[in-house]
Structure 1
Amino acid sequence: MAAAEGRLSDGAEGMTESEREGRKTKDPVDAAPPPFRAAVEALRGARLRPEIEVDQVKPPQRLAPYAYALEAAVVDGDDDLADGRLVLLHDPAGHDAWHGTFRLVTLVRAELEPEMAADPLLPEVCWSWLTGALEGRGLSYGEPSGTVTRAGSHYFGGLGDRPPASQIEIRASWTPREGLGGVPDTASHLAAWCDLLSQIAGLPPAGAGDASVVSLPQRRGPQKS
């Protein structure tokens, strides 16, 4: 994914080139509390299936004092089979609705085969994929909530030659259990989330001890709708 170019903020005039570069590249995570910094570093160091391409993106600004966001796509050649976003939120003071100081928020979406789209139990099945992915990694979590939305598109006029299409979208959030030092195992939660992405994309389960994994580089994220 190409780096975005932005304007220098006020007060940048008169700065040396190295000072301007340092100002532009300063990581806001560096100023965050230690538990959040540790949780983010675990996300950055996670190792995932090679079919999953991940990129850091700008997080939402108003959901919590501290936030970090990733976008991912399950890629097969030139096709994105599924994509989504995972956001880590942190409020050191705690949050009544979270019952903790951290929260994970996600959006996952994928195109569906017609026979799968017609299954009346599809929403319940998709939700079970999320909870099953977390439990399959042995993760403890609380206060899960979310929606599963199934949508269909029919094309007309100049687009009339396209076949009908169906999509599934999962929006969910949960509170990861905090471990030593108040830091949740965010790397395992990311791996579980990628398990969900892989499943909704139709990939076979990765074998136990699968060594064909890659670290999180700067790579392109999901297609934009």
Structure 2
Amino acid sequence: MAAAQGRLSDGAGGMDERKDTGEEAPHTGTTAPPVFSAAVEALRTARLRPQIEVEATRAPQRLAPYAYALEAAVVEDGEDLADGRLVLLHDPAGHDAWRGTFRLVTLVRAELEPEMAADPLLPDVCWSWLTGALQARGLLYGEPSGTVTRASSHYFGELSTRPSASQIEIRASWTPREGRGGVVDTAAHLASWCDLLAQVAGLPPAGPGDASVVTLPQRRGPQSR
């Protein structure tokens, strides 16, 4: 599975400029708090739609005392249609910018058809997919922030035989609201994130009643990532 690469923001203006090198508790050798362990276990055992392949990856070190990361790819007929990374951060002391003790940070990307990439409303639509995916599952969250970037590549010289390519990239973070005992429903947030991945990949809605959801058209054929 091709993992999404790039820097992740913690929503507080800080960036982890190194490759993922952390563990679940990157800054300490102590046992993780029970609420964080429960949140991680929920991520590990969540049931997701079969086209999405998810696996644990090493988490960034500098964003919070405790972190856990997943990478995922939407795969259909052997082709990666979209990929991304989701990081769960936890600071037991709380974080002023987060307005909470947990934060979810994501990077999602997919290749686009040129006509879709030219749509001036595309960034707004992609951001609405993120917030809509959370709202569709009734999840409470706060302090959302992020960017939507589209880029085009054109090849010349010895690479001129390659077709032009366009890509959309969503970087975002939000604070999941905690329930009783400080517990966060991370499984539901993961499912919402996978809904976003599926939309970006152009997959049809998974559940009944979602026919009005607009998705990116699937790519016509394999493209280099």
Range into which the TM-score falls when normalised by the shorter chain: 0.7 to 0.9
Q: Say which structure is richer in helix.
A: 1
- Whichever residue aligns with residue 105 of structure 2, its letter is V
How far apart are 1:27 and its partner, in Å? 7.6
Aligned to 2:178: 178
How far apart are 1:207 and its partner, in Å? 2.2
How far apart in 2 are the matches of 1:208 and 1:40? Answer: 29
1:65 has 2:60 as partner? no
Aligned to 2:127: 127
Residue-pair matches, total = 187
Q: Secondary structure at the match of 2:68?
A: strand
How far apart in 2 are the matches of 1:207 and 1:149? Answer: 28
The superposition leaves residues 63-87 of structure 1 with CA deviations (integer Å, 9 ceiling, x where unpaired) of: 0000000000000122100000000
Superposition CA RMSD, Å: 2.0
Aligned to 1:19: none
Aligned-residue identity in percent: 80
- Of the two structures, which has the highest relative contact order with CA contacts closer than 8 Å and spacing of 6 or more? 1
* CA distance 1:91–1:28, shift in 2 (3 Å): closer
How far apart in 1 are the matches of 2:24 and 2:122? Answer: 41
Aligned to 1:139: 139
1:49 has 2:52 as partner? no
How far apart are 1:115 and its partner, in Å? 1.4
More deviation, 174-183/85-94 = 174-183
- Whichever residue aligns with residue 115 of structure 1, its letter is E
- Whichever residue aligns with residue 33 of structure 1, its letter is P
1:39 has 2:39 as partner? yes
Aligned to 2:78: 78
TM-score, normalised to structure 2, is: 0.79
TM-score, normalised to structure 1, is: 0.79
Q: Secondary structure at the match of 1:143?
A: strand
Asked whether the equivalents of residues 24 and 59 of structure 2 are also in contact (C-alpha less than 8 Å), the reply is no
How far apart in 2 are the matches of 1:58 and 1:27? Answer: 8
How far apart in 2 are the matches of 1:56 and 1:172? Answer: 19
Q: Secondary structure at the match of 2:134?
A: helix
The superposition leaves residues 129-183 of structure 1 with CA deviations (integer Å, 9 ceiling, x where unpaired) of: 0000000010000000000000000011121011111000000000000012101
Q: Secondary structure at the match of 1:133?
A: helix
Q: Secondary structure at the match of 1:91?
A: strand
More deviation, 88-97/158-167 = 158-167
The structure whose Rg is larger is 1
The superposition leaves residues 41-97 of structure 1 with CA deviations (integer Å, 9 ceiling, x where unpaired) of: 111110000000001000000100000000000001221000000000000000000
How far apart in 1 are the matches of 2:129 and 2:78? Answer: 26
1:112 has 2:109 as partner? no
Q: Secondary structure at the match of 2:90?
A: strand
How far apart in 1 are the matches of 2:191 and 2:199? Answer: 12
Aligned to 2:158: 158
Aligned to 1:188: 188
Which consecutive aligned stretches of 4+ in structure 1 deviate over 3 angstroms post-superposition? 26-30
Alignment of 1:210-221 (within 5 A): none
Mind listing any 5+ residue stretches in structure 1 that lack a counterpart? 2-25, 210-223
Alignment of 1:89-100 (within 5 A): 89-100=89-100
More deviation, 157-166/134-143 = 157-166
- Whichever residue aligns with residue 126 of structure 2, its letter is C
